[in-house]
Amino acid sequence: MMKSFSESKLVQKAKLLKSKNLYPFFRSIKDSEGTRVNINGREQIMIGSNNYLGLTHRKEVQEAAIDAIRKFGTGCTGSRFLNGNLEIHEELEDKLARYVGHERVLVFSTGMQTNLGTLPTICGPKDCMLFDGENHASTIDASRLSFGTTFKFKHNDMESLEEQLQSTKARFNRVTIVTDGVFSMTGALTKLDKVTELANKYGALIYLDDAHGAGVMGPQGRGTMSHFGVTKSIDLNMGTFSKSFASIGGFVSGNKEIINHVKHCARSFMFSASMPPSAVATVSKCVDLLEQEPEILKTLWDNVAFMRKGFKEIGLYTYNSQTPIIPVFVGDDLRAMELTNYLQENGIFATPVISPAVPQGEALIRTSYMSTHKKADLERVLEVFQKAKKECNLPSEHFCRQ
């Protein structure tokens, strides 16, 4: 007899958590003001969002989206290949190319589609990809769609990467190093300067998934490759619009030859409806604001520095994060979910990360910060975590470093 899908381990785990009132996912948000949300009639300070620049509720951004709807309608009803190619798609691609510092850009309907479409086009049967061990799930799925071979190197370990490069350089036609720019769970930065040196040494390409770095890292938020000063050495740079750019969609940038190749080969680009006009206009306005208002990023990084310092004073371990993602180590999955409930009861919306998203015994609370967070709200967050450290028996920074 065929086994029921309801018997799967993850479904059973979810059922158990719900029975104990510990299920922390799919919380229904009634309304939102960016840094504050309403859940079940209770206001919460939002520290579980990727809205790093806080632009989702910016008046000019909303007006740009509304104007695009009035001009082009609510959707394109087709792929870019056919009837869905608007002038504003091409204008955004030109603007983004200038912004990130590459020759060409191609925009996709989602960030995941960007990875799913692009990576298989550059890795054929006689090619291989070398993946950081903590790369995002979308790149892992993309590797499964590729006809090439994928190997992993230890997370942010340059010796491990070089071993893989030495092992593969003579066996494959093309070798591509694939790494996140900012790792989404721990907020760690890839060692992109070292990755670039090794790629040059062994003649490998670099594919940078900069979903959490685009709009945040580097001058004017131009990304992790700009932060390290290696823009011209990155063959393909991917970013999303669902985080700093207040919308939905994704892009890949590179030289005109490789982007033209992706444009005519990436199935998730060719066979998906194009980005809706409102999303395109939203992203375009966000880029304008980043270039015109440096205080947006300054305020973000001031808030990040404030929270880093506060967590350190409390004695919580935050993985030495260098980005607006500040994870708080908890350890036990059950404790992480109990802590999530505790935070919510005290007016804080944060998200737990448990196995298998992280290794067993390394559960954490992923917190992240926005340019629009007010100091009073951040102080309240620290006050609640200070109490939680005692009441939920959270491990100290010193203990975690042992």
- Could you read off the pLDDT of 36-83 as tens digits, one per residue? 999 989 999 999 999 999 999 999 999 999 999 999 999 999 999 999
In the prediction, which pLDDT does 6 show?
83
Token pair listed for 253? 């940038």
Q: What is the dihedral of CA 256, 258, 264, 266, to 10 degrees?
A: -130
In the prediction, which pLDDT does 8 show?
84
- Which is more confident, 31 or 13? 31
- Which is more confident, 311 or 33? 311
List strands edge to edge, sheet with 351-353. 325-331, 363-368, 351-353
Query: Phi/psi of residue 94, each to 5°?
Result: -65, -40
- How far is residue 83's CA from residue 81's CA, in Å, rounded to a whole number? 7
Assess whether the previous peptide bond of 352 is cis (omega < 30° from 0).
no
In the prediction, which pLDDT does 318 show?
95
pTM here? 0.94
Q: Which CATH number fits domain 57-292: 3.20.20.140, 1.10.1040.10, 1.10.1660.10, 3.40.640.10?
A: 3.40.640.10
Span 341-359, average pLDDT: 92
- Which is more confident, 271 or 10? 271
Helices and strands (H and E) in the chain: how many: 15, 14
- Who contacts 337 (Cβ-Cβ below 8 Å, separation ≥6)? 17, 22, 23, 24, 352, 354
Q: What is the pLDDT of residues 77-109, one digit of tens each?
A: 999 999 999 999 999 999 999 999 999 999 999
In the prediction, which pLDDT does 326 show?
97
3-state SS string over 387-400? Answer: HHHHHCCCCCHHHH
Of 180, 123, 113, which Cα lies nearest the Cα of 149? 123
**pLDDT band with cut points at 50, 70 and 90 for residue 10:** confident
Q: What angle do CA 70, 284, 263 make, to 5 degrees?
A: 100
- Which is more confident, 391 or 119? 119
- How far is residue 297's CA from residue 354's CA, in Å, rounded to a whole number? 30
Angle between helices 375-391 and 333-345 (to 10 degrees): 130
**Element (H or E) spanning 226, and its range?**
helix 224-227
Q: Where are the beta strands (DSSP E) in 219-362?
A: 236-240, 250-254, 325-331, 348-349, 351-353
Most distant CA pair in the chain: distance in Å? 63
Q: What is the pLDDT of residues 148-201, one digit of tens each?
A: 999 999 999 999 999 999 999 999 999 999 999 999 989 999 999 999 999 999
**pLDDT band with cut points at 50, 70 and 90 for residue 3:** confident
Q: Which residues on adjacent β-strands are paired with residue 343?
A: none
In the prediction, which pLDDT does 226 show?
98
Residue 402 has pLDDT above 50, yes or no: no
How many C-beta neighbours within 10 Å does residue 354 have?
21
Q: What is the dihedral of CA 136, 142, 147, 149, to 10 degrees?
A: 0
- Who contacts 178 (Cβ-Cβ below 8 Å, separation ≥6)? 119, 129, 130, 131, 132, 135, 139, 143, 207, 209
Report the CATH number of the 294-401 domain: 3.90.1150.10
Token pair listed for 162? 């070089």
Break the chain into its structural domains and give their ranges.
57-292, 294-401
